[in-house]
Amino acid sequence: MTLLRGADLQVTYGNRTVFQGLTVTLEEGERVGLVGVNGSGKSTLMRILAGALKPEAGEVQVRRGAKITYLPQEPEFPPGATVKGELSVAQPDLKAAIEAHAALAGRLTGNPSERELQELSALSDRVERLGGWDTEHRARTLLDRLGVKDWDRPIAELSGGLKKRVAVARAILSKPDMLMLDEPTNHLDADTVEWLEDELDALECALLLVTHDRYFLDDLVDRIVEVQPGGGVVSYPGNYAAYLEQKLLAEEQSAVAQHKRERWIAQEVAWLRKGVEARRTKSRARIERARKLMAEKGFQAPKVAELRTVAAPRLGHTVIEAEQVQKSFGGRPVLDGVNLILQRGERIGLVGPNGVGKTTFLRVLLGEMPPDGGTVTIGKNTKVAYYDQHRLQLDPEKTVYEAAWDEELVLLGDKTVALRDYLDDLLFPVPMQRMKVGALSGGERNRLLLARLFLQGANVLVLDEPTNDLDIVTLNVLERLLLDFQGSVLLVTHDRYFLDKVATAILAFEGNGKVVRYEGNYDLYRRLRAQGLAQQPQHAEPPAQAASVTPAAPSASPAKKDRLSYKEQRELDGMEAAILASEERKAELERVLADPSTWTQPSGGGAALQGELEAVTLEVDRLYARWGELQARVEALAQK
């Protein structure tokens, strides 16, 4: 059944047509990923479908009664909003039903009337239908997993990343028929992205996603809609991997068809040039058909940004070395005796939760922040180019041309190229080069900063979140450039796909100043880390804070038991029964709370039972977590 349809949509910005005659249909329950190059209009289309932007022409039709929840890239909150308040209004109908139930229950006397009992019963049914009594617990669990700890804190005091996390939780709690998310993974670390992926996969609603996270698309969507520059859309069934296969096949077939077309045109042109006598023997229809075909553009491969680097000096024996680096803020260790030797040709990915010290470490290495202890050595031939995640190197008041470089000519290899041509190859045509930097989209500013970075002739690239806001096509270009780069790279990104393709080693920031090095890409790091965690003793004292970055491998794990202890085995054997008993008690409490007579007792039994329900719900979550922990250890031991 059709849930939402946009028909004959048109949007223009100045002289630029974003859409014209665009039609897209979304069905109930399907999961759709919107892809396309930066500037093609993905976010604009999503805003129109969500009702946040009115098109110049066309209309959007939504199934009667359907609830649409839209999460933009930069969420907005009302003045004075708090975390708790925002999550409570995620389901205003449920909140109102619970409040009405509590108000009515408070007014009931020891001998309520039949009408009052019926009204209380109807409110109980409504609460159950809208989501149940433990919504606050669900909200707190979501926030805790997203790293937001302050339930009563004003939204205005939160960082941009925390605001995004609150908005994500609010969107999930709203229980819509369709959830529209524009770059939901921005500001989230890789572990949280994986958790969010599981949360969205468990939802029963339809999904519409704009994201550059290719694993996200591969795991969540069952259809890809590609928004093409100039206004069309092409739909591909399947996930991201299936989309790539279909697109490659379509382009190969188009190229073959174009080759045949060009040969036919050449033959027709040769015939037309033979003169009047030859043409008299042919039909006028053939002449008209040839002229019409020659006037058509035919197949053109989509243009992608061409990122290129300026030649750099050869690295010496020493590139960048850090020894026993210490850094604390307010008594909290961020870097505790960290060692690093960056070698020629290495591409090291820095991973870990937000705020754990990745950017601090880069700034210490670059000399922008002094360490509290330890030393940093930069090689004599080392020339560093630094990509700042906040893009502070770009002046928003300058034009694109002025901000790109300080000279009109750039040397690429053995060829001198005009700066205007270099920018045009980066999808900044001449009219766009006159625009102010402040008017560019996030992805366009990102691409411009990368262009400037690669003109510096550096042999070490230090990149802090370079993948944010880039479209998938440009991400592929950046990946190829880094793989071909002859120098060394330090890279901070939460893009798991990007790290899997690019990284030769992972530097994992694990909190409390501890930093561990893993050889290999992100996928290998995840497997080594999971194996190490599974082999750790469950009730051991926490280890001392790490004094250095050391290569991690399964053999480096501390001494471990070869089996569960007797007590742990008994705990595991009884876990299913314990979970079943807790879930049965939870179901019983929900049934009792739905009974209007519960709330008429003078002792306030309803409120007490609601408190017990919250405690039992927490216990169910704890039991499941412990069960998973013990099972993981059993599986790890079985693989030995």
Give yes or no: residues 376 and 494 share one domain: yes
The answer to whether residues 374 and 464 belong to one domain is yes
Q: For residues 481 and 387, is the Cβ–Cβ distance under 8 A?
A: no
Indicate the pLDDT class of residue 544, thresholds 50, 70 and 90.
Answer: very low
Indicate whether 506 and 463 sit together in one domain.
Answer: yes
Considering the domain boundaries, does residue 626 fall inside one?
Answer: yes
In a domain, 449, yes or no: no
Residue 495 domain-assigned?
Answer: yes
How far apart are alpha carbons 99 and 96 in whole angstroms?
Answer: 5
90-123 pLDDT, tens digit each: 566 666 666 677 777 777 766 777 777 777 777 7
- What is residue 455's DSSP assignment? T
CA distance 390 to 393: 8
Do 619 and 479 reside in the same domain of the chain? no
Confidence of residue 551 (pLDDT cuts 50, 70, 90): very low
Average pLDDT over residues 247-276: 72
| Segments forming the whole domain that contains residue 581 | 100-130+563-640
Q: Are residues 542 and 591 in the same domain?
A: no
Q: How confident is the model at residue 301 (pLDDT cuts 50, 70, 90)?
A: low
Beta-carbon-side half-sphere exposure of residue 402 (alpha carbons within 13 Å) = 11
CA distance 108 to 327: 61
Structural domain count of the chain:
2
Whether the CB-CB separation of 345 and 290 falls below 8 Å is answered with: no
Could you tell me if 488 and 386 lie in one domain? yes
The verdict on residue 122 lying in a domain is: yes
- Percent pLDDT > 70 in the chain is 78
CA atoms in the 13 A half-sphere facing the CB of 143: 24
Per the domain annotation, does 95 fall within a domain?
no
| Comparison of pLDDT for 93 and 388, the residue scoring more | 388
> DSSP labels for 533-597?
HHHS-TTPPPPPPP-S--EE-GGGSPP--SS--HHHHHHHHTHHHHHHHHHHHHHHHHHHHTSGG
The verdict on 383 and 468 lying in the same domain is yes
Q: Are residues 337 and 379 in the same domain?
A: yes
Query: What is the pTM for the complete model shown?
Result: 0.66
